[in-house]
Structure formats: structure tokens, C-alpha cells
Amino acid sequence: MVTTATTAAPLIEKHTIGYVPPEDRHGKTRDLFTLWFGGNIAPLPIVTGALGVQMFHLNLVWGIVAILVGHLVGGVLMALHSAQGPQMGIPQMIQSRAQFGSLGALLVVLIAGIMYIGFFASNIVLAGKSLHGVVDSVPVPVGIVIGALGSGIIGIIGYRFIHVLNRIGTWVLGAGIVLGFGYIFTHVQTADFLTRGSFNISGWLATVSLAALWQIAFAPYVSDYSRYLPESVPVAATFWTTYLGTVLGSSLSFIFGAVAVLATPVGMDTMDAVKLATGSIGPLMLVLFLLSVISHNALNLYGAVLSVITLVQTFAYRWIPTAKSRAVLSLIILAACCFAAVGASANFIGHFVDMVLVLLVVLVPWTAINLIDFYAIHKGQYDIDSIFKVDGGIYGRYNPQALLAYAIGIAVQIPFMNTPLYVGPISEHINGADLSWLVGLLITSPLYYWLANRDSAYKRRLSTGKLANSI
């Protein structure tokens, strides 16, 4: 729970992807709990959690078990990334240059940026539907624009304001979802609430994977929200506050979605089921979720902007943009997402979930390489100056070991995939369960460690230059 001596951090963030110096560090590790707890009490995880009973036909008990297992496992990886922030003082994706090289990191940064933009567009659709549900006279397209503008203002102000809102949101949304659970359990409208669905191994594994991948999807930007903490903050404190916040918040939302769907007639849209299941407090729940999605969606816009800046800065390496540049890029992305979301199909969110599952196939090996490099190879010691050089400094433009491990990590997942674009033979054999993420982690992690440690030229690069940070 360490803070710096600096007590007056500016409300509008002045840093973008640049290193945050010690005099600008501020905050407390408990802010990470409220950020990830409050940020995950939102419509999108509720809709995603409902899939365990809607799409995979689990009953309530087995659905809850699968949700908890997935979040408990995936949350470990997510929180390990968060613990990198105070040690490095730079955003997550630009740190990837230390593993892949200045040019080798471009693909992963591009994929992460696309995913952020997809999350942002999906959430403003949910915001539009929520606002229309609260006020019938507000059309969904107008609600989409209002939701996007609200998230845009928060994202432009930046880091500190995002944390402040989530501190408030944790108490308000936490109380709201507990109230919602209480109402649903005392007003169940279906006779098969506990008996609808059953255990099936493919559906259980699919739900576990969905929950784990929800956590892994945060990995490319989770340390963006811990990088302002003082470097002296213990790694364990950063890990546990992030882990507890994200696992508890996400699990509650996933389970809430499953409970709401089972408490209402079969075939209802998840958010319609939430409104019906919560009865007289339904409008209040929708208002809370509307505020939540606007606040949380600022993280997606913020992450998308940092990804774009990282891509541009790779070639314009002397450019470290200011708050003004970040604001301009935020407005451009916001406008493009509004245009796409207003004209989107009715099943836009379903298509987006399908896209995320595909993108995560290429993000999982990145997670493995990044964590192994940070904790097992460099042990938190990096040359920050080299990361911002056009030639990658001591890390070079490309790291062959990382790129080879990355390519193999993608390839080994293919037989285990189950996405709308492709179903692998092993996944098909086990009734459609997608275990690609687990295989990708188990193969890529030791492979990269072995490749990096056997390369003498790579070891020499690690021993040269000024290594700025240490765990």
C-alpha cells in the first residue's frame, strides 16, 4: 500500500506510452482491486457468462463450477502481467519490444489494438441497448453515441480518473449485483431453475475456456493501469490486489448472467432476461449497468489509443505524444466505432465474441513469452532506453527465438481450436471443447525458455547496456 511523496497528481494524464518517472508515480495497490472488480461488473461479462447455460447447456451448479475454475486459472496470468507495471513504468504492449524486437512486436500490438476496438464497439452497443431499456424514447443508435461520448471523456482524461470512477463503482455496483442476486433468488419464474441443462464434458470445458480467456484478454493492457504505482510496490501486493479484484468481479458477473437466464423462460436475450428476472429493481439494475459499461469501456478506448501510438512510434521513434495527441486519436477511434456500431447487425456482440476467440489464439503465445521473459529470463531487468529506440537497442529489430516460439505456439493450438472460422480435429473429437489456449501456454512457455537460454548471442545482449529496473 505504498504511495509516493507526490500528493497532487494531475487529473488529466500527461503521459502516453513514455516511461513514467519516479516523481510522477502515485496511487495505492488497493486501487487495482477496485479497478478490476468494478470494471468487471458490467453487461458484457454478464452476457458472456450466460453462454455456459444458453449455448453449452450446463445446469446451474456445473455452470458455476466451470466459471470459477476458468477465472481462477486465467486470473493468475492476468495478474502476473499487472505486477509488471510498477517495475517497468511503461504500457504493456510497448514492453513487448524487449521480447520480440522493435519490429517483431508490431503484429502483436496490431492484434491487441483490433481487440480493444472490438471490445469498445461491442460495449457501446450494450450501452445503447441499456439506455433504450431505461428510457424507451431514446433510440438504440442515439444511446450508442451517448455511451461512446461518455467513455470518450473518461478515456481522454485518462489514468487517474479511470481509477477514481472504479473506486466509486466498486461500492455501488457491488451492492447492486448483490441486491440483484437477492431479488432473482426470491422471485424465480421458472420451474426448471435448478434442473435445466446437465453436466456434459464438452460444455464444461468450453465454459472453463471462455472464463479463462476472458481473463487472458486483459493481459495486453492490464499493466497499463499499474504502471503509475511507485517502483517500490511489492510484486506480491500488485499481483494479489489485481487477482482478487478481477476474479471476484468477473465471476460474479458471469454467474449473474447464468442465474438470470435460468430464472426466465428459455430463448430470451440475456439483458432482457436480466430486466425480467430483476422485476421491480430491473430499471435500477439497467441504470447501474449503463454507468458501468460507460466507465469500463474507457479502458478499451484508452488501450486502443496506446496501441495506435505504439505502432506509429515504432517508425517515428522520436515522437512521444502528449495528452493532446491522445485526445485526437481517441475522438477518431470513437467516431469510427460509433459509425460501425450503429450500422451493425443484430448479432454484433455474438460476432465479436467469435472474433475474440480467434484473436486469442495469437495472443496466448504472446502471454507465455512475455511472462517467461519477464519472470524467468530477465527477472524484471530491462533497458528502458533500448525499448524506445528505432533499432531496438540491445533487443534489436527482431528476436528470432521469440518469433519462432510464437509461431510454434500458434501452430500447436490449431488442432485444438473451436472457432467460427475453423474447428480442429481434436476439438471435434471431444465434442467441440476448445483447449487451444491451454495447449498454447503449456508448449510455448518451456519452448521459449529453452530457446532463449541456449542462444549465446541473446545472452550477450542481456548483459550489455544499462538495465534500468529490477524486481
- Mean of pLDDT over the chain: 84
**What is the Cα–Cα distance from 110 to 12, expressed in whole angstroms?**
26
Q: Which residue has the higher pLDDT, 111 or 404?
A: 404
Q: Would you state the pLDDT for residue 241?
A: 96
Q: Using a pLDDT cut of 70, give the percent of the chain over it.
A: 89
Q: Would you state the pLDDT for residue 350?
A: 62
**What is the Cα–Cα distance from 27 to 4, expressed in whole angstroms?**
8
Grid coordinates in use for 247? 476474479
Cβ contact 111:405 at 8 Å: no
Helix ranges, 263-322 (H): 270-277, 282-315
Checking if the pLDDT of 391 tops 60, the result is yes
Give CA separation, 420 vs 128, 203, 351, 414, 417, in Å.
Answer: 26, 16, 9, 13, 10
The torsion of the CA quartet 302, 220, 2, 37, rounded to 10 degrees, works out to 80
Distant-in-sequence, close-in-space partners of 468: CB < 8 Å, separation ≥ 6: 381, 382, 383, 384, 385
Q: What is the DSSP string of 360-406?
A: HHHHHHHHHHHHIIIIIISTT---HHHHTSTT-GGG-S--HHHHHHH
pLDDT digits (tens, 9 = 90+) for 280-304: 888 888 888 888 888 888 888 888 8
Cβ contact 398:100 at 8 Å: yes
Reduced to 3 states (helix: H, G, I; strand: E, B; else coil), residue 59 is coil
Q: Which residue has the higher pLDDT, 80 or 307?
A: 80
Q: pLDDT category, 5, cuts 50, 70, 90?
A: very low
Q: Which residue has the higher pLDDT, 159 or 471?
A: 159
Q: DSSP state, 390? A: T
Grid coordinates in use for 3? 504511495
Q: pLDDT category, 359, cuts 50, 70, 90?
A: confident
Q: pLDDT category, 116, cuts 50, 70, 90?
A: confident
Structural domains in the chain plus CATH codes: 29-462 (1.10.4160.10)
Reduced to 3 states (helix: H, G, I; strand: E, B; else coil), residue 308 is helix
Helix ranges, 15-105 (H): 30-40, 43-54, 60-82, 85-88, 92-95, 97-100
Checking if the pLDDT of 260 tops 60, the result is yes
Q: DSSP state, 420? A: S
Distant-in-sequence, close-in-space partners of 258: CB < 8 Å, separation ≥ 6: 49, 50, 52, 53, 60, 63, 64, 67
On the CB side of 303, CA atoms within 13 Å amount to 28
Q: pLDDT category, 448, cuts 50, 70, 90?
A: very high
Grid coordinates in use for 457? 548471442
pLDDT digits (tens, 9 = 90+) for 418-433: 877 788 898 888 777 7
User: Where is average pLDDT lowest: 33-42, 82-91, 347-356?
Assistant: 347-356
pTM: 0.86
**What is the Cα–Cα distance from 7 to 4, expressed in whole angstroms?**
7
Which of 2-6, 180-184, 293-297, 325-329 has the highest average model confidence (pLDDT)?
Answer: 180-184
**What is the Cα–Cα distance from 308 to 291, expressed in whole angstroms?**
26
Q: Would you state the pLDDT for residue 408?
A: 96
